[in-house]
Structure 1
Amino acid sequence: MQNNTEYSIVVPVFNSEKSLEELLTRLNRLFHPISESYEIILVDDRSIDSSWDILKRLHADNSKIKIIRLIRNFGQHNALLAGLNICTGKIIITLDDDLQHPPEEIPKLIAKLKEGFFVVYGKYPPENDSRIENFLSRLYQKIIHIILDIPQEIFISSFVIYQREIVQNIITIKSSYPFLPAMTVRSAPVSKITNVDVAHQKRKKGSSNYGLIRYFKYSLNLIINYSSMPLVFVASLGILLSIFSIFFGFWIIIQKIINPSYGIMGWNSLMVAICFLGGAILMSMGILGEYLRRILAETSYGQQYVISEIDA
């Protein structure tokens, strides 16, 4: 597609019937004075409420609204990728559908991007949810920073603005388990990624789609698909166990020389053999796992998303 649009706003939608109309009203009110050249892309991740019916009505009333419906629930990151793949804007903004990211804060992201950055994340203290949700959010941030090896001062959120070139890089990464922050770090120099402070409002309607299970799912996805830490851990454990078994064997030999009656008959040699073989197996698993990781990194993982309907 030709790049004739100034701004693209991409919003993943899931069970948001209570907030969609207000969200679209505020987005349109915000962008009319900024630029008439904009589009709003809403991707329904197979909501089970009336979100899709509302989207169809809003699309019929406003030509700037494009709507996509996925064939099943793929998850927030997959839904965002569906929108990023069809957007045409020179500048792309993503935000959540629950109004916790106030659309009125978008000009702050735009201004920061125009300072020469490629990606700007909205930064806010995660204090507007329950204590458990706030704790999980902070833990999630720590895991992201450790795995992606990015500076602690960069706050990762779903309220973000991209230069077009970065989005083009992101959509070339093919994985059926996408994790957008990881794909962003792979697509832009970390020195060109920054934050800007924005407001973060309490959820007015509905409940969060992020709970313990969702955080666990995304963390596991991040660790397995974008890190070799589990493989390194298994291999390191195997090496340590093998070294331990060797020293343990020497210790038994010395004890036998000093005291021929030491230990139960056959037990010592059996323990040394078990420890050594266990270590060797773990080391082998680590090596094989590293080969598998590299093979998977070179292949396409399958479907990122499947579109059921689209009105653009």
Structure 2
Amino acid sequence: MNLSIVIPLLNEQESLPELHSWIVKVMTANNYSYEVIFIDDGSTDESWNVIEQLSKENTSVKGIRFLRNFGKSQALHAGFAKAQADVIITMDADLQDSPDEIPGLYKMILEQNFDLVSGWKKKRYDSVVFKNLPSKLFNWAARKTSGVHLNDFNCGLKAYKNIVIKNIEVSGEMHRYIPVLAKNAGFGKIGEKVVIHQARKYGESKFGINRFINGFLDLITIWFLSRYGKRPMHLFGAFGVLMFLIGFIATLFIIVVKLVKLYSGYETILVANNPLFYIALTAMIIGTQLFLAGFLGEIILRTKNNEERYKIATEVNL
């Protein structure tokens, strides 16, 4: 099978028939063997009924229905688990992603041997203030912190080798960072293709300020996990030792100054009456706690029964 097209959706009953017809047209024109996997993420409209009808008309259409809304990441995870083709395409169901882009993405995976190709909606039809500018800021921050040089992390239109989606786990709200997850898993050849962005034809956008905030929080999470997820002591231990040394040196300074004043006959105050002493003591306590946090993190990592130590690219004669 050439292509698995994974499409998460929420309340998109109007767009599904048109999207399906468009995909079939592209697949037929290019003589691709394919499957379309719709993941209904807890829709409250007639989306699931539409999917069932499409599956009766076209055996290449498959569907997964969640009991409630679990989020796009979980929908993609479920779709990836079922995808069987050599190349997997993800796209949104709102018709803002054009199926006409699929052959170009497919060729970049096959002919240029990319592990992953991300779409770049260079010209957008969204609100400049409420979506375009926040998206530019988000993408800039994602590039700087992840080291993956893409212009549009949020674009739902992406292509993957099968081995990529089988070796990454998309959880939480990490669907924005699948290229980063792929890079961390060892898939370094990540490309980008300018794709057409179409104005929304049906329904309403699911974008809100909460998604923008969550995106940055997830960015911090994935930055930490990618750098220190397997070695928490390198972060917490380093900061802990630094804080403890600052506190210890400050305490030593207070004691030395007091002894010098006593030896010289100058009037002095009790160490316990010096505000700097409590600051130093607090720094030492925080430093000890940070060091212990890193130490406990290392113990947890080493005692996990299901720890995944490595990923195998291929095997022979086994």
> Above 0.5 in TM-score?
yes
The equivalent residue for 1:185 is 183
Q: Choose from 17, 20, 23 the match for 1:24.
A: 20
Task: Determine which of 97, 115, 118 is the counterpart of 2:115.
Answer: 118
Gaps of 5+ in 1: 301-312
Do structure 1's residue 164 and structure 2's residue 162 form an aligned pair? yes
1:52/1:141 Cα in 2 relative to 1: closer, same or farther (>3 Å)?
A: same
1:275 aligns with 2:273: no
CA distance in structure 2 between the partners assigned to 1:296 and 1:139 by the alignment: 37
Structure-2 separation of matches of 1:147 and 1:70? 33
Supply the AA of the counterpart residue of 2:106: I
1:85 aligns with: 81
Q: Following TM superposition, by how much is the alpha carbon of 1:159 offset from its aligned partner in structure 2, in angstroms? A: 1.0
Give the alignment of 1:1-312 within 5 angstroms: 5-113=1-109, 114-125=111-122, 127-130=124-127, 131-150=129-148, 152-153=149-150, 155-156=152-153, 157-170=155-168, 173=169, 179=175, 180-190=178-188, 192-221=189-218, 223-224=220-221, 226-228=225-227, 234-260=236-262, 261-263=267-269, 265-268=271-274, 269-292=277-300, 298-299=306-307
Could you tell me whether the CA contact under 8 Å between 2:139 and 2:151 is conserved in 1? no
CA distance in 2, matches of 1:210, 1:115: 33
Distance verdict in 2 for CA 1:293–1:15, change over 3 Å: farther
Unaligned runs of 5+ in 2: 309-318
Distance 1:219 1:126 in 2: 23
Secondary structure of residue in 2 paired with 1:202: coil
Instruction: Give 3-state SS (helix, strand or coil) of 2:86's partner.
Output: strand
Q: Quick check: 1:169–1:187 contact (8 Å CA) kept in 2?
A: yes
Counterpart in the other structure of 2:313? none
Q: Deviations over 1:192-228 (max 9, x none)?
A: 2111111122323333323332344455445446335
Contact 2:179 2:190 in 1 (8 A): no
Percent of aligned positions that are identical: 29
Contact 1:255-1:262 within 8 A present in 2 as well: no
The change in CA–CA distance for 1:29 and 1:48 in structure 2 (over 3 A counts) is same
Does the C-alpha gap of structure 1 residues 115 and 283 become closer, same or farther in structure 2, counting only changes over 3 Å? Answer: same
CA-CA distance at 1:294 after TM superposition:
5.7
Change (3 A) 1:294 1:186: farther
Distance in 2 between the 1:278 and 1:80 partners? 41
Amino acid at match of 1:96: D
Output the amino acid matched with 1:273: L
Contact 1:223/1:229 (<8 A) preserved: no
Deviation of the 1:278 alpha carbon: 2.2
Aligned pair in 2 of structure 1 residues 116, 73: CA closer, same or farther (>3 Å)?
A: same
Q: Once the 2 structures are TM-superposed, how far is the Cα of residue 183 of structure 1 from its aligned partner?
A: 3.6
SS at match of 2:68: coil
Task: Report the Cα offset of residue 94 of structure 1.
Answer: 0.7
Using the size of structure 2 for normalisation, the TM-score is 0.78
Select the structure with the greater relative contact order (CA < 8 A; seq sep ≥ 6). Answer: 1
Q: Which residue of 1 aligns with 2:315?
A: none
Distance 1:27 1:257, change over 3 A: same
Stretch of structure 1 that moved more, 102-111 or 207-216: 207-216
